[in-house]
Structure 1
Amino acid sequence: MRKFSKIVICVGALIMIILGMIVYDIWKDRIYFSLAVLFVTVLSLIWNIVAHNIMDKFRGRE
């Protein structure tokens, strides 16, 4: 399940970057949008790791 959720997050980020490249005309806007998507993706991946570790701790106590 961990690999699947990471793949979904990365594929979603890739789709957002591709759509940003299509929508924005100015290269500066494309770069800013891509950096914002990458920043949110990194935060999502970190949160995903933390959430899985928390769930594993609670499952281990039972």
Structure 2
Amino acid sequence: MTISLEMQREELKAELRNTCDPAERRQIAAELEMVQAEIAAIEAEQDGRISVEPPF
């Protein structure tokens, strides 16, 4: 799952570099931010920094 997210991140970065339309740039930047947050959460879970188990 992480590999496809990393590929998506790289594709969004490339799109962001190549677009001139401000509205499209904002949309791509928002999508990129969501993908990066998801990758960070997965990495934190794998590193043991966060737990997916409920606290109770």
TM-score after normalising by structure 1: 0.52
Unaligned runs of 5+ in 2: 1-5, 49-56
Structure 1 segments unaligned to the other structure (5+ residues): 1-8, 54-62
Q: How many residues align?
A: 41
What SS does the corresponding residue of 1:29 show, helix, strand or coil?
A: helix
- 1:35 corresponds to which residue? 30
| SS of corresponding position for 2:20 | coil
Contact 1:20 1:34 in 2 (8 A): no
Distance 1:35 1:50 in 2: 23
**Which structure 1 residue ranges, 4+ long, deviate > 2 Å from structure 2?**
19-22
Structure scoring higher RCO (CA < 8 A, sep ≥ 6) equals: 1
* Percent of aligned pairs with the same amino acid: 5
- 1:30 is displaced (CA, Å) by 0.2
**TM-score relative to the length of structure 2:** 0.56
- Write 1 or 2 for the structure with the bigger share of helix: 1
Letter of the 1:49 partner, please give it: A
Bigger Cα Rg:
1
